[in-house]
Amino acid sequence: MLRQKGRFSAFIIRLAVVATALSVAAMIASVAMISGFKYEIREKLFSYWGHVLITPYSPNNAGIVSPEPVPDDKGLYEQLKLMPEVTSVAKFAVRPAIVNANRQMEGVQLKGVDEAYDFSGIHAAKLDFSDSSYSKDIILSQTLLDRLQLKVGDDVLLYFLEKGSTFPRIRKVKVSGSYHTGMEDIDKRNAICDIRLLQQINNWDQGEINGYQLALTDDALADTVAGKVFYNYLPADSRLYPQTMQEIFPAIYDWLSLQDVNAMLALIIMAFVAIIDMIAALLILIVEQARMVGILKTMGMAEKPLRRVFLYHALFIGGMGVLLGNVLGLGLCMLQQQTGFLKLSEATYYMQYVPVRLIWWHPVLISIATLVLCILCMWLPTLYIRRILPARVLQFK
Protein backbone atom coordinates (compact mmCIF):
# COMPACT_ATOMS: atom_id res chain seq x y z
CA MET A 1 0.00 0.00 0.00
CA LEU A 2 2.80 2.41 1.00
CA ARG A 3 4.97 1.51 -1.95
CA GLN A 4 2.55 2.57 -4.65
CA LYS A 5 4.16 5.25 -6.79
CA GLY A 6 2.56 8.43 -8.07
CA ARG A 7 -0.19 8.47 -5.46
CA PHE A 8 -1.05 11.53 -3.39
CA SER A 9 -0.92 9.40 -0.24
CA ALA A 10 2.69 8.42 -0.97
CA PHE A 11 3.68 12.09 -1.00
CA ILE A 12 1.78 12.75 2.24
CA ILE A 13 3.40 9.75 3.91
CA ARG A 14 6.87 10.94 2.94
CA LEU A 15 5.96 14.40 4.21
CA ALA A 16 4.79 12.90 7.52
CA VAL A 17 8.06 10.97 7.88
CA VAL A 18 10.09 14.14 7.22
CA ALA A 19 7.96 16.23 9.61
CA THR A 20 8.25 13.61 12.36
CA ALA A 21 12.01 13.37 11.80
CA LEU A 22 12.41 17.15 12.02
CA SER A 23 10.28 17.28 15.17
CA VAL A 24 12.28 14.53 16.88
CA ALA A 25 15.58 16.11 15.79
CA ALA A 26 14.45 19.49 17.13
CA MET A 27 13.44 17.92 20.46
CA ILE A 28 16.77 16.10 20.84
CA ALA A 29 18.77 19.20 19.90
CA SER A 30 16.72 21.48 22.19
CA VAL A 31 17.12 19.24 25.23
CA ALA A 32 20.85 18.71 24.56
CA MET A 33 21.48 22.43 24.15
CA ILE A 34 19.53 23.46 27.24
CA SER A 35 21.22 20.70 29.27
CA GLY A 36 24.58 21.93 27.99
CA PHE A 37 23.73 25.55 28.75
CA LYS A 38 22.72 24.79 32.34
CA TYR A 39 25.76 22.56 32.86
CA GLU A 40 28.22 25.17 31.55
CA ILE A 41 26.76 28.01 33.65
CA ARG A 42 26.90 25.92 36.82
CA GLU A 43 30.45 24.77 36.04
CA LYS A 44 31.54 28.40 35.66
CA LEU A 45 30.25 29.13 39.17
CA PHE A 46 31.79 25.98 40.61
CA SER A 47 35.16 26.64 38.97
CA TYR A 48 35.64 29.78 41.07
CA TRP A 49 33.57 29.27 44.21
CA GLY A 50 33.34 25.48 44.48
CA HIS A 51 30.09 23.66 45.25
CA VAL A 52 29.66 24.47 48.95
CA LEU A 53 31.02 27.35 51.05
CA ILE A 54 31.27 27.04 54.83
CA THR A 55 31.47 30.58 56.24
CA PRO A 56 30.35 32.52 59.34
CA TYR A 57 26.61 33.07 59.35
CA SER A 58 25.78 36.76 58.98
CA PRO A 59 22.15 37.67 58.13
CA ASN A 60 23.06 41.30 57.42
CA ASN A 61 26.03 40.55 55.17
CA ALA A 62 25.56 41.99 51.67
CA GLY A 63 28.46 40.11 50.09
CA ILE A 64 28.90 36.52 49.05
CA VAL A 65 31.18 35.83 52.02
CA SER A 66 31.13 37.46 55.44
CA PRO A 67 34.39 39.36 56.16
CA GLU A 68 34.29 38.10 59.74
CA PRO A 69 37.25 35.80 60.52
CA VAL A 70 36.93 32.42 62.20
CA PRO A 71 39.62 30.16 63.63
CA ASP A 72 40.77 27.35 61.38
CA ASP A 73 39.27 24.17 62.85
CA LYS A 74 41.78 21.48 61.90
CA GLY A 75 39.50 18.71 63.16
CA LEU A 76 36.64 19.93 60.94
CA TYR A 77 39.07 20.36 58.04
CA GLU A 78 40.20 16.74 58.28
CA GLN A 79 36.60 15.51 58.57
CA LEU A 80 35.61 17.43 55.45
CA LYS A 81 38.52 15.94 53.50
CA LEU A 82 37.38 12.42 54.44
CA MET A 83 33.83 12.89 53.12
CA PRO A 84 33.37 10.56 50.10
CA GLU A 85 31.45 13.23 48.16
CA VAL A 86 34.25 15.81 48.54
CA THR A 87 37.17 15.99 46.09
CA SER A 88 38.98 18.96 47.66
CA VAL A 89 38.75 21.31 50.65
CA ALA A 90 40.44 24.72 50.56
CA LYS A 91 40.70 27.40 53.23
CA PHE A 92 40.14 30.92 51.96
CA ALA A 93 39.86 34.57 52.94
CA VAL A 94 38.44 37.60 51.14
CA ARG A 95 39.30 41.28 51.16
CA PRO A 96 38.47 44.23 48.86
CA ALA A 97 41.40 45.94 47.19
CA ILE A 98 42.30 48.27 44.34
CA VAL A 99 44.54 47.08 41.51
CA ASN A 100 46.75 49.86 40.11
CA ALA A 101 48.59 49.44 36.81
CA ASN A 102 49.40 51.65 33.81
CA ARG A 103 47.81 54.66 35.55
CA GLN A 104 44.51 52.81 35.73
CA MET A 105 42.67 51.40 38.72
CA GLU A 106 40.10 48.65 39.19
CA GLY A 107 38.33 47.62 42.38
CA VAL A 108 38.41 43.88 43.04
CA GLN A 109 37.61 41.37 45.73
CA LEU A 110 40.75 39.40 46.46
CA LYS A 111 40.26 35.77 47.31
CA GLY A 112 43.15 34.37 49.28
CA VAL A 113 43.64 30.62 48.95
CA ASP A 114 46.08 28.03 50.21
CA GLU A 115 47.91 25.21 48.43
CA ALA A 116 44.87 22.91 48.63
CA TYR A 117 42.89 25.14 46.25
CA ASP A 118 41.99 23.43 42.95
CA PHE A 119 43.41 25.73 40.27
CA SER A 120 42.44 23.33 37.47
CA GLY A 121 38.84 24.55 37.70
CA ILE A 122 39.79 28.03 36.49
CA HIS A 123 42.41 26.69 34.04
CA ALA A 124 45.17 28.77 35.62
CA ALA A 125 48.70 27.98 36.78
CA LYS A 126 49.07 27.40 40.50
CA LEU A 127 50.39 30.23 42.67
CA ASP A 128 53.98 29.90 43.82
CA PHE A 129 53.65 29.20 47.55
CA SER A 130 57.40 28.66 48.12
CA ASP A 131 57.96 32.09 49.73
CA SER A 132 58.07 31.76 53.52
CA SER A 133 56.20 35.03 53.98
CA TYR A 134 53.50 34.98 51.29
CA SER A 135 53.33 34.40 47.56
CA LYS A 136 53.96 37.52 45.48
CA ASP A 137 51.75 36.10 42.68
CA ILE A 138 48.23 37.11 41.74
CA ILE A 139 45.76 35.68 39.22
CA LEU A 140 43.53 38.19 37.42
CA SER A 141 40.70 37.57 35.01
CA GLN A 142 41.27 38.18 31.33
CA THR A 143 38.65 40.94 31.58
CA LEU A 144 40.74 42.81 34.17
CA LEU A 145 43.94 42.24 32.20
CA ASP A 146 42.35 43.81 29.13
CA ARG A 147 40.99 46.78 31.10
CA LEU A 148 44.32 47.45 32.79
CA GLN A 149 46.32 46.72 29.61
CA LEU A 150 48.29 44.00 31.37
CA LYS A 151 49.74 40.64 30.44
CA VAL A 152 50.96 37.67 32.44
CA GLY A 153 54.33 38.52 34.03
CA ASP A 154 53.58 42.22 34.63
CA ASP A 155 53.77 43.79 38.10
CA VAL A 156 50.80 45.54 39.71
CA LEU A 157 50.21 47.43 42.93
CA LEU A 158 47.50 46.44 45.39
CA TYR A 159 45.97 49.19 47.53
CA PHE A 160 44.24 48.16 50.76
CA LEU A 161 42.14 50.86 52.42
CA GLU A 162 42.07 50.91 56.21
CA LYS A 163 39.35 52.38 58.42
CA GLY A 164 40.59 55.48 60.19
CA SER A 165 43.72 55.69 58.04
CA THR A 166 44.39 58.32 55.39
CA PHE A 167 46.91 56.26 53.46
CA PRO A 168 46.31 52.80 52.03
CA ARG A 169 48.57 49.82 52.61
CA ILE A 170 50.36 48.92 49.38
CA ARG A 171 51.73 45.60 48.15
CA LYS A 172 53.53 44.86 44.89
CA VAL A 173 52.66 41.55 43.22
CA LYS A 174 53.19 39.88 39.86
CA VAL A 175 50.46 38.63 37.51
CA SER A 176 51.27 34.92 37.35
CA GLY A 177 48.20 33.77 35.44
CA SER A 178 44.74 34.56 34.19
CA TYR A 179 41.31 32.96 34.17
CA HIS A 180 38.16 33.47 32.15
CA THR A 181 34.69 32.25 33.12
CA GLY A 182 32.70 34.46 30.75
CA MET A 183 30.48 35.53 33.66
CA GLU A 184 30.86 39.27 34.12
CA ASP A 185 29.89 39.19 37.81
CA ILE A 186 32.93 36.98 38.50
CA ASP A 187 35.47 38.15 35.91
CA LYS A 188 34.94 41.84 36.53
CA ARG A 189 35.38 41.84 40.30
CA ASN A 190 37.49 38.89 41.47
CA ALA A 191 41.17 38.03 41.72
CA ILE A 192 43.09 35.24 43.47
CA CYS A 193 46.11 35.60 45.75
CA ASP A 194 47.85 33.86 48.65
CA ILE A 195 45.73 33.64 51.80
CA ARG A 196 48.78 34.61 53.86
CA LEU A 197 48.86 38.02 52.16
CA LEU A 198 45.32 38.79 53.32
CA GLN A 199 46.03 37.44 56.80
CA GLN A 200 48.92 39.91 57.09
CA ILE A 201 46.90 42.82 55.69
CA ASN A 202 43.99 42.04 58.04
CA ASN A 203 46.35 41.59 61.02
CA TRP A 204 45.01 38.08 61.55
CA ASP A 205 46.78 35.13 63.03
CA GLN A 206 47.82 32.40 60.58
CA GLY A 207 45.03 30.26 61.98
CA GLU A 208 42.27 32.74 61.05
CA ILE A 209 40.30 32.39 57.81
CA ASN A 210 36.96 33.36 56.27
CA GLY A 211 35.83 29.81 55.59
CA TYR A 212 36.20 26.58 53.64
CA GLN A 213 35.47 25.91 49.99
CA LEU A 214 34.34 22.39 49.04
CA ALA A 215 34.55 20.85 45.58
CA LEU A 216 32.32 17.80 45.10
CA THR A 217 32.24 14.77 42.84
CA ASP A 218 28.78 15.80 41.59
CA ASP A 219 26.98 19.14 41.93
CA ALA A 220 23.72 17.26 42.55
CA LEU A 221 25.16 16.28 45.96
CA ALA A 222 25.54 19.90 47.14
CA ASP A 223 22.35 19.99 49.24
CA THR A 224 23.12 16.58 50.75
CA VAL A 225 26.69 17.56 51.67
CA ALA A 226 25.60 20.93 53.10
CA GLY A 227 23.00 19.21 55.27
CA LYS A 228 25.45 16.53 56.40
CA VAL A 229 28.05 19.16 57.35
CA PHE A 230 25.52 21.26 59.26
CA TYR A 231 23.95 18.42 61.25
CA ASN A 232 26.88 16.02 61.66
CA TYR A 233 30.11 18.00 61.65
CA LEU A 234 29.43 21.49 62.99
CA PRO A 235 28.95 21.87 66.77
CA ALA A 236 25.74 23.46 68.01
CA ASP A 237 27.51 26.68 69.03
CA SER A 238 29.45 27.04 65.77
CA ARG A 239 29.23 30.31 63.85
CA LEU A 240 29.86 28.46 60.60
CA TYR A 241 27.08 27.74 58.15
CA PRO A 242 27.30 25.74 54.88
CA GLN A 243 25.77 27.26 51.75
CA THR A 244 25.34 25.86 48.26
CA MET A 245 25.76 27.92 45.11
CA GLN A 246 21.99 27.86 44.67
CA GLU A 247 21.62 29.66 48.01
CA ILE A 248 24.37 32.16 47.22
CA PHE A 249 23.30 32.87 43.61
CA PRO A 250 19.50 32.30 43.65
CA ALA A 251 18.86 34.67 40.72
CA ILE A 252 21.12 32.65 38.40
CA TYR A 253 19.49 29.37 39.41
CA ASP A 254 16.00 30.84 38.97
CA TRP A 255 17.03 31.94 35.49
CA LEU A 256 18.33 28.45 34.73
CA SER A 257 15.03 26.96 35.94
CA LEU A 258 13.24 29.08 33.34
CA GLN A 259 15.20 27.22 30.68
CA ASP A 260 13.42 24.03 31.74
CA VAL A 261 10.11 25.75 30.99
CA ASN A 262 11.42 26.76 27.56
CA ALA A 263 12.54 23.19 26.90
CA MET A 264 9.15 21.80 27.91
CA LEU A 265 7.33 24.25 25.63
CA ALA A 266 9.59 23.28 22.73
CA LEU A 267 8.96 19.57 23.37
CA ILE A 268 5.18 20.05 23.53
CA ILE A 269 5.11 22.08 20.30
CA MET A 270 7.31 19.63 18.39
CA ALA A 271 5.36 16.61 19.67
CA PHE A 272 2.09 18.31 18.67
CA VAL A 273 3.43 18.94 15.16
CA ALA A 274 4.52 15.31 14.79
CA ILE A 275 1.15 13.98 16.01
CA ILE A 276 -0.89 16.26 13.73
CA ASP A 277 1.22 15.21 10.73
CA MET A 278 0.77 11.54 11.56
CA ILE A 279 -3.00 11.87 12.02
CA ALA A 280 -3.34 13.76 8.72
CA ALA A 281 -1.23 11.18 6.87
CA LEU A 282 -3.23 8.26 8.24
CA LEU A 283 -6.58 9.91 7.47
CA ILE A 284 -5.52 10.56 3.87
CA LEU A 285 -4.29 6.97 3.58
CA ILE A 286 -7.61 5.60 4.88
CA VAL A 287 -9.68 7.84 2.59
CA GLU A 288 -7.62 6.88 -0.46
CA GLN A 289 -7.91 3.20 0.40
CA ALA A 290 -11.65 3.42 1.14
CA ARG A 291 -12.52 1.15 -1.85
CA MET A 292 -10.14 -1.53 -0.60
CA VAL A 293 -11.66 -1.23 2.89
CA GLY A 294 -15.13 -1.66 1.38
CA ILE A 295 -14.05 -4.81 -0.50
CA LEU A 296 -12.50 -6.32 2.63
CA LYS A 297 -15.63 -5.53 4.64
CA THR A 298 -17.78 -7.19 1.95
CA MET A 299 -15.57 -10.27 2.18
CA GLY A 300 -16.31 -10.43 5.91
CA MET A 301 -13.23 -8.84 7.43
CA ALA A 302 -13.97 -7.26 10.82
CA GLU A 303 -13.16 -3.64 11.67
CA LYS A 304 -10.53 -4.42 14.33
CA PRO A 305 -8.17 -6.26 11.95
CA LEU A 306 -8.67 -3.48 9.41
CA ARG A 307 -7.77 -0.86 11.97
CA ARG A 308 -4.69 -2.85 12.97
CA VAL A 309 -3.50 -2.87 9.34
CA PHE A 310 -3.54 0.91 9.23
CA LEU A 311 -2.01 1.16 12.71
CA TYR A 312 0.90 -1.01 11.58
CA HIS A 313 1.46 1.35 8.67
CA ALA A 314 1.26 4.32 11.04
CA LEU A 315 3.79 2.66 13.35
CA PHE A 316 6.10 2.15 10.37
CA ILE A 317 5.79 5.82 9.40
CA GLY A 318 6.40 6.94 13.00
CA GLY A 319 9.32 4.56 13.43
CA MET A 320 10.99 5.80 10.26
CA GLY A 321 10.49 9.41 11.37
CA VAL A 322 11.91 8.74 14.85
CA LEU A 323 14.90 6.87 13.42
CA LEU A 324 15.73 9.62 10.94
CA GLY A 325 15.13 12.23 13.64
CA ASN A 326 17.66 10.55 15.93
CA VAL A 327 20.25 10.45 13.16
CA LEU A 328 19.67 14.12 12.32
CA GLY A 329 19.41 15.37 15.92
CA LEU A 330 22.38 13.43 17.28
CA GLY A 331 24.44 14.27 14.20
CA LEU A 332 23.74 17.99 14.65
CA CYS A 333 24.65 17.83 18.35
CA MET A 334 27.90 15.96 17.70
CA LEU A 335 28.83 18.41 14.94
CA GLN A 336 28.26 21.31 17.35
CA GLN A 337 30.37 19.59 20.01
CA GLN A 338 33.25 19.15 17.59
CA THR A 339 33.14 22.48 15.74
CA GLY A 340 31.08 24.95 17.80
CA PHE A 341 29.73 26.46 14.59
CA LEU A 342 26.68 27.93 16.35
CA LYS A 343 27.96 31.07 18.09
CA LEU A 344 26.55 33.13 20.98
CA SER A 345 27.11 36.60 22.40
CA GLU A 346 29.26 36.00 25.48
CA ALA A 347 28.12 39.27 27.05
CA THR A 348 24.53 37.98 27.05
CA TYR A 349 24.85 34.21 27.44
CA TYR A 350 28.21 33.93 29.31
CA MET A 351 29.69 31.71 26.57
CA GLN A 352 30.95 32.06 23.01
CA TYR A 353 29.17 29.11 21.40
CA VAL A 354 26.03 27.02 21.90
CA PRO A 355 26.90 24.32 24.45
CA VAL A 356 25.68 20.76 23.89
CA ARG A 357 25.47 18.03 26.51
CA LEU A 358 24.22 14.66 25.32
CA ILE A 359 22.76 12.43 28.03
CA TRP A 360 22.03 8.96 26.64
CA TRP A 361 18.56 8.58 28.11
CA HIS A 362 17.28 11.91 26.73
CA PRO A 363 17.02 10.80 23.05
CA VAL A 364 15.81 7.35 24.17
CA LEU A 365 13.00 8.88 26.23
CA ILE A 366 12.09 11.34 23.46
CA SER A 367 11.94 8.53 20.89
CA ILE A 368 9.81 6.23 23.05
CA ALA A 369 7.47 9.04 24.13
CA THR A 370 7.00 10.19 20.52
CA LEU A 371 6.18 6.67 19.32
CA VAL A 372 3.79 6.01 22.21
CA LEU A 373 1.97 9.32 21.70
CA CYS A 374 1.70 8.73 17.96
CA ILE A 375 0.30 5.21 18.45
CA LEU A 376 -2.24 6.41 21.02
CA CYS A 377 -3.37 9.24 18.77
CA MET A 378 -3.55 6.97 15.71
CA TRP A 379 -6.59 5.20 17.15
CA LEU A 380 -8.69 8.29 16.47
CA PRO A 381 -8.34 8.40 12.65
CA THR A 382 -8.87 4.62 12.38
CA LEU A 383 -12.36 5.15 13.79
CA TYR A 384 -13.18 6.62 10.38
CA ILE A 385 -13.20 3.04 9.04
CA ARG A 386 -16.58 2.57 10.75
CA ARG A 387 -18.06 5.24 8.49
CA ILE A 388 -16.92 3.54 5.30
CA LEU A 389 -20.00 1.77 3.86
CA PRO A 390 -19.23 -0.94 1.25
CA ALA A 391 -22.40 -0.18 -0.74
CA ARG A 392 -21.39 3.46 -1.12
CA VAL A 393 -17.70 3.09 -1.96
CA LEU A 394 -18.04 0.09 -4.32
CA GLN A 395 -20.40 1.88 -6.70
CA PHE A 396 -17.50 4.16 -7.74
CA LYS A 397 -14.48 2.95 -9.69
Q: Which residue among 212, 238, 264 closes a domain?
A: 238
Same domain, 206 and 333: no
Q: Which residue among 208, 238, 268 closes a domain?
A: 238
Same domain, 196 and 139: yes
pTM of the entire structure? 0.83
Calculate mean pLDDT across residues 91-102: 95
Which of the residue ranges 85-99, 308-322, 382-396 would you say has the lowest mean pLDDT?
A: 382-396
Same domain, 206 and 128: yes
Is pLDDT at 308 greater than 70 in this prediction? yes
Angle, helices 361-382/250-288, rounded to nearest 10 degrees: 40
Same domain, 13 and 72: no
Same domain, 219 and 104: yes
In a domain, 283, yes or no: yes
Number of domains in the chain: 2
Same domain, 311 and 363: yes
In a domain, 243, yes or no: no
Q: What is the percent of the chain where pLDDT is above 90?
A: 56
- Residue 391: what pLDDT? 56
- Residue 2: what pLDDT? 46
Q: Which residue among 238, 264, 281 closes a domain?
A: 238
Question: Residues 112-135: pLDDT tens digits?
Answer: 999 989 898 888 888 999 998 999
Query: 103 or 384: which carries more pLDDT confidence?
Result: 103
pLDDT tier at 26, thresholds 50, 70, 90: very high
Same domain, 81 and 194: yes
- Residue 395: what pLDDT? 58
Is pLDDT at 59 greater than 80 in this prediction? no
In a domain, 247, yes or no: no
In a domain, 50, yes or no: no
Is pLDDT at 393 greater than 60 in this prediction? no
In a domain, 337, yes or no: yes
Question: Residues 249-286: pLDDT tens digits?
Answer: 898 899 888 888 888 898 899 888 888 888 887 778 77
Calculate mean pLDDT across residues 44-53: 92
Same domain, 152 and 301: no
Same domain, 268 and 356: yes
- Residue 388: what pLDDT? 66
Q: What is the percent of the chain where pLDDT is above 70?
A: 91
In a domain, 246, yes or no: no
In a domain, 199, yes or no: yes
Question: Residues 131-170: pLDDT tens digits?
Answer: 989 999 999 999 999 999 999 999 999 999 988 778 899 9
Same domain, 202 and 139: yes
In a domain, 285, yes or no: yes
- Residue 62: what pLDDT? 52
Same domain, 40 and 86: no
Same domain, 71 and 35: no
Query: The domain containing residue 25 runs over which residues?
Result: 8-44+253-393
Which of the residue ranges 173-177, 292-296, 320-324 would you say has the lowest mean pLDDT?
A: 292-296
